[in-house]
């Protein structure tokens, strides 16, 4: 059986096509979506979990070295890896929130896959992370449909990163393909996420149109300008229908990061000074919340940085605020801050103010945020999204008949308004913000594997 598989930055979902109709497949109970999160006792537990529990072996010598080291480290720490040691989705988040400092937690590993300059062992570990998540989704899918699932079309962004170019894309797609194969998918193909969303929208068209698909996901924004409609439906060769593509690593995560940085981090000492009148380095407030930047995370949570934070605390004019930053480090709580920024973003999509609440190890920090303040905070990623829309239009040389907006972050009236400012006289429509990519992938999967 074949499926469409949206391995998303924020959520994962799968679907199949039955008699021309897209059927989403429940992954956890009756839920069709599982957050792209993983939690384990240690990072090394993930690699040993694949080997011991799932009988998934490394593909090469680098992976074998990662596994051997993981087994050695876990043995030294007295860890006997069991089937329930690695959690996914909401279970992973809940376990992390219970005790952030004593578990390994990762959200949105897809954001790391295109990062350049990483060592082979780091890339191999990322592959293990993705493989564990994909294997969990495959098992849950097969349990729901009571069939083996061996073929998948997996969605991918136009560009995994804004830098790194095609080399970055090749690296990221290679990790996804190897992880999927190890998880048990024998046949794997990829489709651009905005093209997939467009295929789902096309099923509703009764006449041909020039459609600009704007897919604002958790990690990336992608635009595809497509000729769509009855004349194109059901065709595998659609090269002549693709007018333009643009994409960059800017999405819902960036909105959350900028909201946290601009509105929250002053409560952790950003903008304060040392006794000598020097400002505390801004990177100390950016790095803990930059959850889509593996290098920034490594720098902040490094043991050497703890020494630096202690020196800053000793020399701070407002030590109470800097002490909160110390708690972020000691409790590995950057994800908790971003989670509250995401709640703030969602709330301010419907109301004018919100009282954010960040629970630290020793206190709760309450921060009032106005909608206008959030709009100002996310001005930089909003402008990048607008630039991607303009780039796709300029590449095509024509104006679209309609803009189809999709992706979880496209629900934001701020971002809808930003696109409308570029195309004030063009209809903007939307469908299933979370499910259109998955549905289009299922349609493509049925077409190419039939």
10 Å CB burial of residue 186 (0-12, 13-18, 19+) is: exposed
Contact at 8 Å (CB) between 221 and 215? yes
Query: The domain 2-185 is classified under which CATH number: 3.60.20.10, 3.30.420.40, 3.80.10.10, 3.40.50.300?
Result: 3.30.420.40
Contact at 8 Å (CB) between 107 and 291? yes
165 pLDDT exceeds 90? no
- CATH fold, domain 207-252+379-431, is Nucleotidyltransferase; domain 5 (3.30.420)
Q: Measure the N-to-C terminal CA separation of the chain; round to a whole number of Å.
A: 10
Check if 2-185 and 207-252+379-431 are the same fold.
yes
The pTM of the full predicted model, rounded to 2 decimals, is: 0.88
Could you tell me where the beta strands, DSSP code E, fall in 334-378? 353-359, 364-370
Range in 189-193, 223-227, 331-335 the model is least confident about: 331-335
What does the DSSP assignment read for 273-307?
A: BBTTSPBPPTHHHHGGG-TT-HHHHHHHHSHHHHH
What does the pLDDT read at residue 147? Answer: 95
The length of the chain is 450
Query: SS3 for 148?
Result: coil
Domain boundaries of the chain, sorted by first residue? 2-185, 207-252+379-431, 253-371
What does the pLDDT read at residue 361? Answer: 84
CA-to-CA separations, 44 to 35, 77, 172, 326, 354, in angstroms, rounded: 21, 11, 21, 25, 39
* 288-328 tens-digit pLDDT: 999 888 889 989 998 899 999 999 999 999 999 999 999 99
Mean pLDDT, the chain, integer: 94
What does the pLDDT read at residue 108? Answer: 87
* Of 431, 435, 426, residue with least CA distance to 390: 426
* 7-22 tens-digit pLDDT: 999 999 999 999 999 9
| H/E segment holding residue 272 | none
Range in 149-153, 161-165, 224-228, 421-425 the model is least confident about: 161-165
Contact at 8 Å (CB) between 423 and 188? no
């Amino acid at each position: 059986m074949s499926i469409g598989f949206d391995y998303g930055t924020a959520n994962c979902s799968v679907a199949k096509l039955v008699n021309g109709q897209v059927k989403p497949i429940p992954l956890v109970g009756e839920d069709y979506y599982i957050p792209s999160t993983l939690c384990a006792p240690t990072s090394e537990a993930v690699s040993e979990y694949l080997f011991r529990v799932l009988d998934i072996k490394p593909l090469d010598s680098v992976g074998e070295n990662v596994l051997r080291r993981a087994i050695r480290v876990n043995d030294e720490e007295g860890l006997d890896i069991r089937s329930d040691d690695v959690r996914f989705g909401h279970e992973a988040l809940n376990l992390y929130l219970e005790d952030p400092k004593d578990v390994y937690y990762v959200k949105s590993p897809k954001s790391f896959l295109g990062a350049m300059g990483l060592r082979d062992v780091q890339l191999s570990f990322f592959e293990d992370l993705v493989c564990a998540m994909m294997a969990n989704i495959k098992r849950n899918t097969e349990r729901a449909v009571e069939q083996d699932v061996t073929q998948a079309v997996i969605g991918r962004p136009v560009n995994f990163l804004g830098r790194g170019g095609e080399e970055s894309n090749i690296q990221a797609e290679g990790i996804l393909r190897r992880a999927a194969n190890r998880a048990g998918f024998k046949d794997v193909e990829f489709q651009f996420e905005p093209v997939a969303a467009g295929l789902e929208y096309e099923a509703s068209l009764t006449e041909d149109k020039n459609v600009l698909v704007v897919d604002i996901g958790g990690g990336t924004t992608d635009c595809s300008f497509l000729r769509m409609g009855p004349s194109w439906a059901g065709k595998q060769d659609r090269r002549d229908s693709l007018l333009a593509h643009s994409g960059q690593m800017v999405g819902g995560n960036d909105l959350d990061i900028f909201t946290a940085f601009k509105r929250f981090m002053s409560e952790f000492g950003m903008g304060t000074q040392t006794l000598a009148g020097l400002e505390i380095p801004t990177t100390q407030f950016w790095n803990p919340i930059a959850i889509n930047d593996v290098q920034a995370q490594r720098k902040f949570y490094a043991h050497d940085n703890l020494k630096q934070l202690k020196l800053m605390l000793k020399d701070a004019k407002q030590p109470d605020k800097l002490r909160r930053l110390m708690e972020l480090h000691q409790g590995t709580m950057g994800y908790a801050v971003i989670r509250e920024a995401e709640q703030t973003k969602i709330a301010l999509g419907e109301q004018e103010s919100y009282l954010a609440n960040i629970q630290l190890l020793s206190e709760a920090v309450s921060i009032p945020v106005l909608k206008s303040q959030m709009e100002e905070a996310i001005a930089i990623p909003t402008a990048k999204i607008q630039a991607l829309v303009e780039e796709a239009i300029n590449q095509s040389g024509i104006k679209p008949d309609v803009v189809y907006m999709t992706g979880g972050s496209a629900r934001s009236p701020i971002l809808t308004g930003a696109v409308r400012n570029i195309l004030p006289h063009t209809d903007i429509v939307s469908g299933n913000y979370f499910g259109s990519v998955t549905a289009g992938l299922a349609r493509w999967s049925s077409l190419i594997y039939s």
